[in-house]
Each structure stands twice: as C-alpha cells, then as structure tokens.
Structure 1
Amino acid sequence: MRFGKLIWLVSIGFMSTCCHAADGNSDESALGDFFERKIRPIFAKHCYECHSVDTAEDNGHLALDGRTSLLAGGSRGPIVIPGKPEESLLMTAIGYGDPKLQMPPEGKLSATEIEFLTQWIQKGAFVPEYAPTTQKKGKEIDWNEARAFWSFQPLQSHRPPALAPNAPAQQPIDAFIQHELVQHGLSPSSSADRRTLLRRLSFDLLGLPPNVDDVAEFVNDSRPDAYERAVDRLLASPHFGERWARYWLDLARYTDITPSWLKNADQAWLYRDWVIRALNEDLPYDLFVKRQLAADLLEQKSPEDYAALGLIGLSPTYWKELRLAPGVIEVIVADEWDERIDAVSRTFLGLTVACARCHDHKFDPITTRDYYGMAGIFASTQLSDRPLLPSPLAEQIAEARQRVDQLEESLKAMNDKECDEAKKLKTDIDTIRGTTPMFGTPMAHVVEEASIFVLPDGPEMTKLDIRKNQPRDLPVFRRGNPGNPGEIVSRRFIEVLSPSTPQPFVSGSGRREFAEALFNESRGLTARVITNRLWTHHFGRGLVRTPSDFGIQGERPSHPDLLEWLAESLSDNTDPNSPRAWTMKRLHRQMVTSSTYRQSSETTLGVDGSSAGSQSLQLDPENQWLARMNRRRLDVEPWRDTMLAAAGQLNSTMGGPAAELDLPTNLRRTLYGRVGRDEQNDMLRLYDFPPPTSHSPSRDATTTPLQQLFILNSEFVESQSAAFAAAVQQQKPDASTDEKISRCYQLLFQREPSPQERQLSQRFLTGGTGSVDETRWAIYIQSLYGLNELLFVD
C-alpha cells in the first residue's frame, strides 16, 4: 500500500498549478552576516595584530583584514579552499596538527571558534565586499555625510504621483506602484477572482483557510465595499494576533525550552500570549516596543505588561563554569550582551550593531563606542522572574520562591535525606509555600535593573556578583577582549542616529531612554524597518529586500517614495482627526485593500494570447515592480493548521502553555507547539522553521524530497487524513462518491474539482474496478494534503 500511495502522490502532483524557486539573493546576505558576526571577530581578536595590512610584510605577507588579501593568502599560498576545510591551510594551523605551524601562537582557539571557521569554509568561505564609502575622512567619520545616507535621514513627505483618470488605482499605494510600472513599460495585472482573494486575505491575516460558507457569501456579495468589509472582519478576528505574533516571535528568537543546564523557560508562553493580545488590541507600535524593552520602568503599565519583557528575558544564556578563570567567564558574559545587542538593533533599527564589537563597523558608520554605549545598557540589566501581579505582592512571591529554590538546593546537596536537618528544610519549604499568598502563580521571564560583575573568588575560582539598581558603564574592549579594556563609554544611543553628539543615559540601565530614542532620534529608521517587514509578509518581497539590514551593505528600496509615504503615514499623528500614530492595523489595511495587493498572480497567456502577468514575467521575472501578485509558499504553521481545520480537528483554544507537536492529542494551532533552542520538531525543521538561537529576519522557503516523504510517512498527516475521511463519510453517508470528492475540494481549496481532477480521483478511489474501495479515502486525502495548491497561496 505504501508503494500505491507513492504512485498516487506522484501522479496527482502533476495536477498542481504552482511552482516555486528559492530566492538566492538571501543566501549572500546570510553568508555575509555569518562572516561579520562569527568570523571577523575571531580574526580581530586573535589574528589582526600580526596579520593586517600594516603588519603582513613581517608575518608571511598574510593580511586577513581585507577581502582580496584574505582570499589570496600569504607566502605559503591560499589559506582556505572554499568548501574543503580539511584541505585548508587555515584549519591545519588552528588545529595544531603541524608542530611547525600552530596559530595563534599564544594558545589554541576554543572548540566553538574552530567550529565557526569550519562552517565558514564549508559554506564557501564567503567574504563580503566592502562597499565604497566616503563617510570617513582619514580615520574619523564625517558625521554629516554619514547622516546623509538614505535610511538615516528624517522621513520625507511625498505626495502620491498623479495618474490618468482611467488608471485602476484604489489608493495612494497604487499610484506609487503604477507610476513605476509606466516607467518600466509594464501594465498591472487584472484583479484576482474573489475566491482567490479571500483565500489570500485569510492566510495573510489569520494564517487559516477561509470557511466554505464565507467564500460563498463573499463571492455573491454585490455591495461595492464587500472586499473592505471582509478585510475589516478578518482584522477584528482574534486569530489575527496569532498569525502576526508568530512573525514577531521569529525576530524575538522565542523559545519554550532551553537546555536543562540553563535557566528554565517553562513560562515563556506568557510573553507569547502578551504579543498576541497586543496585536489584537492594535497596541500602537511605539508602546508595543517600549513595553518590551522597559515595561518595568514605565509609569503607565499594568501587571500583565511585565510579560512583554520576555523579549530580553528569554535571551539565550550560556553555561558559565565558575571553576574557570574570571577572564573566560567575562568573555561568556560579554557574548550574552552581544547577542542582545544584535537582536535588539536588527529587530528595531535594521542595523548590525554587533559587528562593531571588536572594531568600528566595516561598512556602516557605527563605532565601537556606539557598541559599548549600548552594551552598558544590557550589562546593567539582568534576567529575572516575576509573577504578573501588582506590587508588593509580586515581590513577596518572588522572594519566597527564591528562598525555596535556595532551600531545595541545600536539600539536594545532602547525602542523608532523612536526617533532622533535612527534615527541617522540608518543613521550612512547606511553610513558605503554604503561607505565601498565590505562591504557585506563573512567573514571567522578565528583566530587572541590576549589573553583573565577574570577580575572582579564590584560586582558579570565579564569582558572579549581581548588584541590583547599580548601573554600570563599560570600557571599550580592545579587539573584543574584556581582558584588554580601553576608555569607558557612557550608556547612550548610536551616534549616527542622533542629531548631534549623543547624550549619556542617566536613568537606571538606560533601557527606557533607549526605547524613547527609537521613536525620537531614529523615528524615520524605526518606521521604515517595521513598515518594510509588514510589506514583505503581505507581498512576498520587501521594498527593501534585506529586512534587518538598512545599512550600507543592505539593498536600496525598490520604491523609495512609497516606503517613505507608508512610514510617514504609520508614524504621523499631526492630523487631529486621524487615528493615533503607529497603529499597525491601519497599515495592514492600507496594504491589503490596494489594487496592487488584489492583482492576480497568473503568468500564463489568456485565450486571446495576451496577459499582463505573462508580460511582466518576461520583462520583470523577479516581479520587482509588482505588475502581478507574488505566488507564495505557506509557512509550516498555516499549512499544518489547514490540515487540522479541513479535518474538523482544529482546537481553536487561545493562549496557555505550549505542548509537543508530536503528541496525537495536540490539535491546537502550530503557534502553541513547543519550540526549543537545542532541538527542533521534525515537521518544523523540514519546513523551514527558523531555529530560535538568534534573530531571524525572514524564512527562506525550500523545496526538498524530504518534505514529500514527510507527507507520505508522517503519523500526523496520516491521522489527519483518516480523520478527514471519516468526517466526509459521516457528514453525508448517502452522498455519492462525486459529492464526497467535491466536499474534499471545498474544504481544502474552497472550489469544485475540475473534470480532470474528478476523473483522476474516481480512478484512484475505485482502483479501476468500478466500485469504490473505502480504505482508499484516507490515502486519497493524504495525497491532496501534498498538493502544491495547499502548499502555496495565489
């Protein structure tokens, strides 16, 4: 039967009407980011002192601080062979395999550093080109010129272009788009049919397929504002927050599980649920951000808002073996700050500030002083836990739980669990639990105002000293080494985004001042970045195709005036009659009600031999100018949720703790499946779910044989296929086979099957015998689950 399923899956696959090509442009960006984040810091820390342009002549003519010189190698020849680390001279040197060639001479690199270098060479040893820039005069940055870069500029007001009276523009977005189409000799495609539009909207806004009855009602709705009504209904659905929360959680590297030796993340769902609620309530973006960075420091907040601090409270933390030397632990602590700088700067500013840890940023006007000004904020902020209750009850519970944790550690260390002292500890624990009101309240993973200091505490021992409400400024760590401190830098904002010399942050850690600066000093950049993220998810391609890099190395906007207009519209509150500034649902509505969004994705020729989509495919194959809508691959979450919904199995309960996706009883939305940093669920991993180890700006859809094998062999897909088959049979037991086939297509695709599809379906279900084999229904539906029409959205 397995072989029969495979034959059917292959044969019915020919009926698919969608195709997918992976976007290769994101690969180079990702490789460049890997080099800047992982490889260049290693070279800066261990190699540049001897192997830079200034010192190479005396050290084998090997310079690692330039692209050309690095790839050329030195007097021994090239040091890397792309794709072949085992044959690369660099790996021989750092592996200490040759007694005559051991680098760096002061000691072998850590296992993690060697692994990063191995991965770099395996991936092709990519080194990004330096973009030509005139932002430096000598060794100093020309700040006036640096601030003139397009993304650092204040927002500019742009009027939509004027168009001919018969142009199909619905709103200003279309005026900008159609102006560019005319310039490039293109015409917009006609509108997609209503069924396609409602499917597109439903998956975009809710991550779920539309109800069959909703499609029928919309198709037959003759009111002129029927489409806008459908948009407003979907934006008001509580499922909207679930769909868009998942996009945000990718940026925030959300996890439900951390390795067992790390701080437990079992209450991470409180942050996830806060994000869902905030998006459903249309919390303005400025408040959405400020609460995630500094809810504990804001005057206007509720106890529930502390959960927003999970953005930082769920940051990756690294094992600190306190028997190691303080210098080693200092590097680990600095790595944690670095990760938070990277996540925050890329998420909100679209800038890779973390690349300035060891040296001034190689591309952007971001200095090491900027980096350590920001690092001081996170050095003055420590991860903590807090119940979502008012003070002082919250503090009382937190203190009681901390005391219980200490007593349980003491109890665990005792050899004799029945001695008098152990019995007393158990009694004390029970007393604290019983006398503390609401002791068992879930504890959100938050942050608090506290600094960490790494201190020596005896021979070869280290102590971590947490000092509450004592902020600290950090020195510049020369070449990223905490053991080589330079000048101290005040906690502050990034200089190129400040109108003049940035002023020191003086209020606690500076988190609140940093959050305010995002919407004052860098209002334009902050607005452009989030506007571009929303556009990317709706249209399948960003106006800026590097959503987390708006710097020199990032791509320039394809429609700069449109991006400015949208960002200004989002952030503007000068009109007293307009809604409050930064409301994201308003921006969503602007995008999806445009005629640009409503275009067909069709690229085939019509019966008359003409097609705007076909023309644009020839003249603009990447669809940069949006003469048609992009056909897009579903993320794994809506794909799995669609299978559950079609089978009538979807549990739409919102919020609460996560559960393993592999559990047969877990029929909730995929958003509520447990996500871990060290291991991933097979289904998520196969379908391009990003590992929550770091900020993920986008998902790169892949098409692999393993995905089809998963559909063929997955217990989940098989169980949902069986449930779907049983539901179709039970709903109308006396229905004909043809009616049941129609029902399957209606539930999955909200349409009737074509004559060819009916014929092929009948042939499989009967096995050529003329009578239906009832055991084949589940296999038939399993095959439908694997169709491109379910995997892609038109």
Structure 2
Amino acid sequence: TDINYDRDIRPILSDNCFQCHGPDAATREAGLRLDLAESAQHQLDSGRTAIVPSNLSRSELWTRITADDPDVRMPPASSTKTLTASEQQLIRRWIEIGAPYVSHWSFQSPQRPQLPTHRSSWIRNPIDAFVWQQLNNHRIQPAPPADRIMLLRRLTQDLTGLPPTPEEIEAFLGDNDPEAYEHCVDRLLSSPRYGEHRARYWLDAARYGDTHGLHLDNERSIWPYRTWVVDAFNRDQPFDEFTIEQLAGDLLPHPSVAQKVATGFLRCNVTTSEGGSIDEEYVVRYAMDRTETMSTVWLGLTMGCAACHDHKFDPISQREYYSLYSYFFSLAENAMDGNALLPPPAMRVANVAQQAQREQFEHQRTRLTDTLAQLKRQHLLQLPQFRDDYLSHSTASVAPRDWQLYCAFNEFDEHTT
C-alpha cells in the first residue's frame, strides 16, 4: 500500500512530535520543525539532519525513534508518549521513498485520475469505470439495473428533493425516445425546484436561519438572502461571482440591490440581546463566527483552534487567524440585536408581489415621462409661431388656440397667498 503523508505520517508526528517540534515557537526545541519539509530536511546547528530523504542511516528522526537508550530515544520518556512498532515502520518506509510532504488537502489542486481500463458491458460511461473498479476491489457484484419508475424516482429526488408526480411518471413511461432519460434531466435542471433543493445545502453551510438562534430566538427577516441563493443556483451563476457577492457585494462599484442582499451570508450568525451580555464580547464572537464559517465553507479548513494558538495540524497560525478576522471585525452593527426583526444595518427589499407592482409603476412612470417629453418638444416647436403672432398683433387680438395654462386659484384656501 502506498504511504500517504496526510493519512499515515502526519497523525503520528502530530501526536508524538509536534508539541516540541511543531508550529508553536514557544514550545519548540532545538529549532526543529517536523511539520515543514524545509525545516525537517535542513541541517541543524548540531550538524545533524532530522530527515534525509531516502537515507535512513543519516536521518536523525529514525535514529531517535528506534534508539534503545532512553536518554536518546524520542519521544522522551517524560512525555509518556511512544511510537508503536507499526508506526515506526510507517516512518521508515516513508523516509525510504523520499519522505514526501504534502500540503493540507484543501490546498492541493485536483488531479484528473487515470481512467480504469476494465472492460465490461456494465460500463456505459467513465464514471461507471471507477465504480466498477471499486466493486471489483471489494468483490461486490453490481446491483441489477433499476426499472424506469425507480430510475425516475431517484433522478427526481436527487435533483429536486421531491418524488415525481403521477403525471410525470406516466409521461416518462410513455416516452419511447432513446433519450427520454436525458430529457428528464434537462427538465428537472430547469425547474425552480432544482435551485431550492441545491440551495439548502449551501444555506446549511452558511448557517442560515429565520430566527436569531439564541435566547428568545426571535424571528429574523433575512429571507431575501435565501431567495438570492436559490436564484443563484437556478441561473447557474459562476462560482467566482457567487463568492465575491456574498463576501463583498456591497463593496463592488455601484452594487445592485441583489449584490447587497448577497452579503446576507455575513449576517446569518447567531445574535443575542440577552440581559447582562457584554457588548465587546459579542462583537468579537460575531467576527470569529464569520471568520471560521468563511474558512470552513471556502477553504475547506477549520480555523477555530487557531483563535487561541498556532494549530499543530491545520496549516494556520494564530497571527493568520486574526489577520483574516480583522476583515470581519469591521461591520457597523450593534452587539445586541434588540430582538428586532431587522437589526441594523439593514435594508428593506421588495417581495415578489411588491417587485411586480414596482415594475408596473416604473413602466407607467416611463410612459408618462415619454409623453411629457413629447408634449414639451411639440410646444417648443410651436413657440416661435406663438411669439411671432404675439409681436405682430395687439395682445387683445391674440386668441389662444387651446388651454395653455390652468391655475386653480379658486381652489386655494384662505391661508394660501
């Protein structure tokens, strides 16, 4: 079996070595860091090197973990830690193959795997080849093909979270087109239910809730953000835009209402207005929540431990944690939410019915504005003729062609001058 640093080696070093030879400078001994390849493979002041790739005899790490002398052996007896024989052999094999370090899994670029070369009539597409390989490795026979009703049920639940309707089942069973299944996929992907179903996974990660989440757990009106996420999935918004608008939509040049709504991601954290709560404490809590949620969602990396100390396993220092934290410590919000439906800073957003009414009013305003502009142009064209008529005749003989101005003076009240 291939040695995997993250799976096989890092846990051993983390449990037994990183306390004295890890990222925490305050507890580091001999200036040695075993969590970084450049340090572990660098010659120390003593002239020794902890790890010399492919060379056991020159690797001080191997010498120390296998030493019989308790004064030489690592970990020291005072630590009450010890490596088992199997752990020692894993270290040995790792050094022999070159002691390859790898970065944290979430920082590694995805690699396209080699397509398995198995030949079977069961394999219909590249994904099947990988499934077939794993089935063979575990000596499992493939399940028999699903019938059409089961196939439609699985597909519909996967893409919309709902079972197919009787009408959809009837239509699918009666469709003899060879691409009937593909047509169902297209139909479901274009359904509004698709965005609703996919969005719920993101909303879980974003810690979305319709209440404050603490103490009285009052209602919180943040549903426009939920609607924005659903719409983003339904219109297949590019992920880079999806990211930018949620983290900094209000900082974009001339942000739209939708881009401002997208920053609701940053307002989904639990808030409170409990009596006796300390404002300064909760402002810090909110910023920490946003920092750790952002790192978990976008980096695939937990950062909570680094709030108190350099992490010995995840590649995050305490300084890095608070450097990121500083971005989220700048929101102009009150520590106490006042149990309000819209704790400030907030903006009011029209619902679907209100938006339709607004669009109707905008259409009417545009039409009236165009009409007024047209009348103005007509009157400007008539102005020279009106002026000439006025100058060439006495004012008494100039008769208006039509009403030019109406002033309802008789409608003024007694207080109007």
**TM-score range with shorter-chain normalisation?**
0.5 to 0.7
Alignment partner of 1:142 is 2:92 = no
The aligned counterpart of 2:202 is 248
Name the residue aligned to 1:284.
238
2:304 to 339, 354, 363: 354
| Aligned residue identity for 2:348 | P
User: Is the CA contact (8 Å cut-off) linking 2:308 and 2:318 kept in structure 1?
Assistant: yes
Q: CA deviation at 1:333?
A: 2.5
Q: Does the CA contact (< 8 Å) of 1:341 and 1:375 recur in 2?
A: yes
Say whether 1:307 aligns with 2:261.
yes
Aligned counterparts, 1:544-583, within 5 A:
none
Question: What CA distance in whole angstroms lies between the structure 2 residues aligned with 1:259 and 1:192?
Answer: 43
Moved more, 225-234 or 253-262: 253-262
**C-alpha distance in structure 2 between counterparts of 1:329 and 1:307, whole Å:** 26
Deviation at 1:163? 2.6
Cα deviation, 1:138-172, whole Å, max 9, x if unaligned, reads 534416676534443222232322231x3322322
Cα deviation per residue 1:740-783 (whole Å; 9 max; x = unaligned)?
xxxxxxxxxxxxxxxxxxxxxxxxxxxxxxxxxxxxxxxxxxxx
Match of 1:205 in 2: 159
**For 1:298-337, what aligned pairs fall within 5 Å after superposition?**
298-299=252-253, 302-319=256-273, 329-337=279-287
Counterpart for residue 394 of structure 2: none
Q: Report the Cα distance in structure 2 between the residues aligned to 1:264 and 1:294, rounded to whole angstroms.
A: 27
Contact 1:273 1:655 in 2 (8 A): no
**Higher Cα radius of gyration:** 2
Equivalent residue, structure 2, for 1:624: none
Q: Which residue of 2 aligns with 1:442?
A: 348
> In the alignment, is the contact (CA less than 8 A) between 1:269 and 1:655 conserved in 2?
no
Shift of 1:309: 0.7
Amino acid at match of 1:142: L
Contact 1:265–1:314 (Cα < 8 Å) also in 2 = no
Q: Do the aligned partners of 2:287 and 2:328 also contact (CA within 8 Å) in 1?
A: yes
Secondary structure of the structure 1 residue equivalent to 2:12: coil
For 1:156, the aligned partner's letter is: Q
Query: What does the per-residue CA deviation read over 1:52-108, in whole Å, with 9 as the maximum and x for residues that have no partner?
Result: xxxxxxxxxxxxxxxxxxxxxxxxxxxxxxxxxxxxxxxxxxxxxxxxxxxxxxxxx
Deviation at 1:320, TM superposition (A): 7.4
TM-score for the superposition, normalised by structure 2: 0.55
Who is 1:161 aligned against?
116
Cα distance in 1 for residues equivalent to 2:266 and 2:291: 10
The AA in structure 2 aligned to 1:131 is P
The alpha-carbon distance between structure 1 residues 169 and 259, as it changes in their structure 2 partners (threshold 3 A), is closer
Q: Structure 1's 286 and 173: CA in aligned 2 closer, same or farther, altered over 3 A? A: farther
TM-aligned CA deviation for residue 221 of structure 1: 2.2
- Which residue number in structure 2 is paired with residue 3 of structure 1? none
Deviation at 1:240, TM superposition (A): 0.8
Deviation at 1:261, TM superposition (A): 8.4
Secondary structure in 2 aligned to 1:133?
Answer: helix
| 1:330 aligned partner, one-letter code | E
Return closer, same or farther for 1:301/1:156 CA change in 2, 3 Å cut-off: farther
1:653-710: per-residue Cα shift (whole Å, max 9, x none)?
x9789xxxxxxxxxxxxxxxxxxxxxxxxxxxxxxxxxxxxxxxxxxxxxxxxxxxxx
Cα shift at 1:285:
2.0
Query: Residue 375 of structure 1 corresponds to which residue in structure 2?
Result: 325
Distance 1:206 1:356 in 2: 38
5+ long unaligned stretches in structure 1:
1-129, 385-400, 406-439, 445-653, 658-794
> Which secondary structure does the structure 2 equivalent of 1:442 belong to?
coil
2:399 equivalent in structure 1: none
Q: CA deviation at 1:199?
A: 1.3
- The one-character-per-residue Cα deviations of 1:566-616 (angstroms, maximum 9, x if unpaired) are xxxxxxxxxxxxxxxxxxxxxxxxxxxxxxxxxxxxxxxxxxxxxxxxxxx
Query: Who is 1:132 aligned against?
Result: 12
Matching of residues 190-269 of structure 1 within 5 Å: 190-258=144-212, 266-269=220-223
Separation in 1 of the partners of 2:347 and 2:317?
44
Bigger drift between 130-139 and 286-295 goes to 130-139
User: CA contact under 8 A between 1:312 and 1:383: conserved in structure 2?
Assistant: no
* 1:282-303 CA-partner distances (Å, limit 9, x unpaired): 1122221221111122348532
Could you tell me how far apart the structure 2 residues matched to 1:206 and 1:272 are?
Answer: 16
Contact 1:273 1:656 in 2 (8 A): no
Q: Is the 8 A contact 1:318 1:336 kept in 2?
A: no
> Residues 263, 289 of structure 1: CA spacing in aligned structure 2 closer, same or farther, 3 A cutoff?
farther
What does 1:712-727 align with in structure 2 at a 5 Å threshold? Answer: none
2:307/2:318 contact within 8 Å kept: yes
| Unmatched 5+ stretches in structure 2 | 1-9, 23-27, 39-99, 335-341, 355-417
Instruction: Give the 3 Å change call, closer, same or farther, for CA 269–237 of structure 1 in structure 2.
Output: same
Aligned equivalents of 1:257 and 1:293: distance in 2? 21
SS at match of 1:163: coil
- Per-residue CA deviations over 1:188-220 (Å, capped at 9, x if unaligned) read 222211111111221221122212121122123
Alpha-carbon separation, structure 1, partners of 2:187 and 2:352: 21
Aligned-residue CA RMSD (Å): 3.5
Give the distance between the partners of 1:297 and 1:238, measured in 2 at CA. 29
Aligned AA (1:148): S
Q: Distance in 2 between matches of 1:260 and 1:202?
A: 36
Query: What is the CA-CA distance between 1:278 and the residue it aligns to?
Result: 0.6
Q: Which residue of the partner structure matches residue 401 of structure 2?
A: none
Shift of 1:177: 1.7
Point out which structure has higher relative CO (alpha carbons under 8 A, 6+ apart): 1
Greater share of strand residues, 1 or 2?
1
Q: How many percent of aligned residue pairs carry the same amino acid?
A: 39
